Structure 1
Amino acid sequence: MASTQDIQTLLRFLTQDAKMPLAQALSKVPDLQAANLTSPSDLAKSNAETLESIFTDPKTARQVLNASKRVSKKRATQSPNPPPKKRKQTITSLDPLTGPQIEASLALPAPVLNEEILKSAVIYTNRAPLLLAFALTLLKYTMSTQPLSSRLSLAQAVTSMNSRAKAQSIGLEKGEVGEEEGWAQGQPRVCIMTREIRVMKRWGYEWQDEDNHAEARDETGEPPLWAVDLDAVRNANQAAAPPRFRNARLDDLHIYSPQSARAYLMKAFNTPAEVAGDNKVKADGQVPVPGKSKSKRTAATMAAEKEGNLSLLLGALDLLYSSWSPILSKEDLDKRAWVWYVRVRPEVAQGAAGWGEKGNVKLGDILDLRRRAG
């Protein structure tokens, strides 16, 4: 049976080397697994007829076969001792920076709160980054004393755990996750949008401004938190330690990276082609030129457009949560957040075909979820 890593490697090959759309690649993974074709080398040893029976299109089958042979040949000529892979970012990689420096580096664009702009704005994205934005903005109201780095880490945990659960339900991933195997024993946890998140307390982390050197804690007396990536902990330690989280060394504790979460948000929200020019805001505050040719846009222009769309989304979510927070408890607001996300997330195909598929999100629909006055 192919492991999760094998599936990820296969998807990376299909989308990057064989140039297949992600949705199409995902839909073919079960068929490739059934045929025991789970790596480029397996595919290179296959033949056009077998691949045509899986991909149905002869052109696509030849494309995959040629790419697999090219990749396999390249790997065969590489040095038998490749350089070691970089380790996944760990907690200690953040230590050289001061708390205020860390938080400043993670700053997000300011939310746009102009309702007239938001009512007509539409963004084009897939479900995962939208959930990340929902969770991150929720935490401004339910865990407001947590620093941005903690809120990004916690929100990424919600998103990753939801994606993993979905992948298992549609057959793209098999086996147990880290928590089910016991790696979370004894660790505290918090509930965010129906997900139980295992956390690690960041004792001694000072993140406020220079005039306040006291360690920050929330109203319950808890210090800032990291969301722990239990699957990463398991993968790094299972060969050397029994499945008990507390036996892992501090330097090996893996977290959901706030930097990765921020980078994901900054690049995830496009403007639908049919409404290009209608989202009346950009990162620099300028109004886009309607009908401007996309072929002439630079990478900087597209990045600014995505940043502007993130500002729009964060503004709509801020208006939604702020309308309910005065009358709902934090627990009830948390429960409602998941329902609201489901109401406005993009419509996608069922099963593996819809994995990663993008769609339109009307920010006016988010505004319609606000509490009505009176």
Structure 2
Amino acid sequence: MTTKTEIQALLRFLSQDAKLPLPMAMSKIKDLQQATLTSAELLAKADIKVVEGIFTEEKHAKQVLNAAKRVSKKRAAGDTELLSPVKRNKTRIGAETTSPASVEASLALPSSSAEEEELRATTLYTNRAPLVLAFAVVLLQYTMTSQPLSSRLSLAQAVVSLNSRSKAMSLGIEKGKNAEDEGWGQGQPTAKVMGRVIRVMKRWGYNPKEGSRASNGTTLDDNDNFKLEDKVEDSQATIKGNETPADQVPEELPALWGLDLEALRAANGPLIPGKDTSKLPIYTPESARAYILKSFASAPSSATVDPESSRKKPSAAAIAASKEKNLGLLLQALDMLYSSWAQVLSTDELDRRAWSFYVNVRPEVEDGVAGWGGKGEVKLAQILAMRRKG
């Protein structure tokens, strides 16, 4: 029986060394297992007809065989860069990692208990992307209640990135096919956030309340109940068209990562889930949190300012503290908005309405390329005004 380590190595070989698209590589694992061709060394010695029978196209078969011979020759020569996955993992993730509970605590966002009067009087100065992020993070508390904060930040950042890329392409700032169009998302489940379909990766075994054992990603321990072989079978099923509909991600799903398909394409795969999240093509919660914390300044005051006091610039610490407070006020206002509608709307309907909520209050910027990244005012009073009446 093929071990988990061997399957990981085989996927890595097919997608990185043989340069096959990840979906194709994953779909061939079972056939290669049945033919007992589960390593580059075995493939290098295989009959071309057998390999062609698995990959169907002659060019793909030759591509795999040539890569297998090249890799085998390097390994025989003692190439240290081609150490087994087990040896490499020992050097990379051998140290003790932080517990999930500690990770979640470190990602905590600022909160507020301000009176509604203070919220109504608050006007923020920001650009559109971080506002989308804030809307999505709070929305997920109501539409995907089982997701920990780390997942909500990752999924929300996925929405922001996809939205920004779509806008950039519509403006002509970016051109060419994106990774999704090229098929890099095939085989991965989807979720819908603010009406946008995003590719996700399941974080099997991750318990955000666990304090003694870290599982920052899909666990691959010997005692894990979910085996990598099962993951491959699931992926093959979705590649064949049985993909989970975007609006039907069940509540009991494990924690999720927002999958960064552009990063996956740049790395040329493979998608090997593991504990070392720095190696995964995901939207990291740490970067999303850092981004949102620094994005909400107070709107410039129109009141007359004392010339003497205006010469005194606030310190970096004071600016950071002000932005953190503003974020807390914004999140409080958004929570009040969503909670008022969550009582009467299904999670799907709330998700559908979230984008229109955002559009109603997003900063006004110039049209076209001139407005790319532009900043404007966001009035919390307008967010509160969209609450359900009665």
TM-score, normalised with respect to structure 1? 0.65
1:225 aligns with 2:252: no
Kindly state the Cα deviation for residue 232 of structure 1 after the two structures are TM-superposed. Answer: 0.3
Partner amino acid, structure 2, of 1:159:
V
Consecutive unaligned residues in structure 2, runs of 5 or more: 1-91, 217-248
Which of 375, 380, 386 is equivalent to 1:358?
375
Any conservation in 2 of the 1:124–1:271 contact (CA below 8 Å)? Answer: yes
> By how many angstroms is 1:272 displaced?
1.5
How far off is 1:293 after superposition? 3.5
**Structure 2 counterpart of 1:273, from 276, 281, 300:** 300
Rg (Cα) greater in structure: 2
Q: Over residues 45-88 of structure 1, what are the superposed CA-to-partner deviations in whole Å (9 max), with x where a residue is unaligned? A: xxxxxxxxxxxxxxxxxxxxxxxxxxxxxxxxxxxxxxxxxxxx
Residue 75 of structure 1: aligned partner = none
Provide the rounded CA distance (Å) in 2 between the counterparts of 1:264 and 1:276: 29
Report the CA distance shift for 1:322/1:276 in structure 2 as closer, same or farther (over 3 A): farther
Q: Which letter maps to 1:259? A: E
Aligned counterpart, 1:148: 149
1:295 aligns with 2:312: yes
CA RMSD of aligned residues (A): 3.0
1:105 corresponds to 2:136 = no
Match of 1:306 in 2: 323
Change over 3 Å in CA distance of 1:193–1:117 after alignment to 2: same
Kept in 2: contact 1:346–1:359 (CA 8 A): yes
Give the corresponding residue for 1:343. 360
Unpaired segments ≥5 residues, structure 1: 1-90, 238-244, 278-288
Residue identity matched to 2:353: R
Q: 1:307 to 1:163 in 2, by over 3 A?
A: same
Q: CA separation in 1, counterparts of 2:328 and 2:191? A: 28
Aligned partner of residue 295 in structure 1, secondary structure:
coil
Q: Check 1:98–1:170 CA distance in 2 against 1; reply closer, same or farther (3 A cut).
A: same
What percentage of residue pairs aligned between the two structures are identical? 53
> C-alpha distance in 2, partners of 1:94/1:160?
32
CA distance in 1, matches of 2:165, 2:103: 28
Partner Cα separation in structure 1 for residue 95 and residue 153 of structure 2:
14
| Pair 1:99–1:187, CA change in 2 (3 A) | same
Letter in 2 for 1:162: N
The alpha carbon displacement at 1:214 in A equals: 12
Instruction: After TM superposition, give the deviation of residue 204 of structure 1 in Å.
Output: 1.0
Q: Specify the alignment match of 1:203 in structure 2.
A: 204
Aligned residues: 262
Q: Structure 1 counterpart of 2:162, which letter? A: M
Residue 319 of structure 1 aligns to a residue whose secondary structure is helix
SS at match of 1:371: coil
1:1-374 equivalence runs, <5 A: 96-208=97-209, 210=211, 220-237=251-268, 247-250=270-273, 253-274=280-301, 293=310, 295-373=312-390
Secondary structure of 1:273's partner?
Answer: coil
Query: Residue 306 of structure 1 aligns to a residue in which SS?
Result: helix
| Cα 1:204–1:195 shift into 2, 3 Å | same
In 2 relative to 1, CA 210–231 (structure 1 residues): closer, same or farther, beyond 3 Å?
closer
SS at match of 2:312: helix
Q: Is the 8 A contact 1:206 1:214 kept in 2?
A: yes
What displacement does 1:295 show? 2.9
Q: Tell me the alpha carbon deviations over residues 275-308 of structure 1, each in whole angstroms, 9 at most, x when there is no partner.
A: 689xxxxxxxxxxx9x953633110000000001
Structure 1 SS opposite 2:382: helix
Residues 121 and 381 of structure 2 are in contact (CA less than 8 Å); yes or no, is this contact kept in structure 1? Answer: yes
Given the superposition, is the C-alpha separation of residues 92 and 265 from structure 1 closer, same or farther in structure 2, using an over 3 Å criterion?
A: farther
Once the 2 structures are TM-superposed, how far is the Cα of residue 176 of structure 1 from its aligned partner? 1.2
C-alpha deviation, 1:211, in angstroms: 10
Q: Secondary structure at the match of 1:296?
A: coil
Structure 1 residues 306 and 292, CA, compared in 2 at 3 Å: closer, same or farther? farther
Structure 2 CA distance for partners of 1:329 and 1:351, relative to 1, 3 Å: same
Moved over 6 A (4+): 91-95, 211-215
Q: Deviations over 1:307-346 (max 9, x none)?
A: 0110110011011001100000000000110001000000
- Tell me the TM-score normalised to structure 2 length: 0.62
**CA positional deviation for 1:221:** 2.4
Contact 1:348 1:358 in 2 (8 A): yes
Amino acid at match of 1:181: E
What is the SS of the residue equivalent to 2:336? helix
- C-alpha contact 1:112 1:314 (8 A) present in aligned 2: no
Counterpart Cα distance in 2 of 1:248 and 1:212 = 23
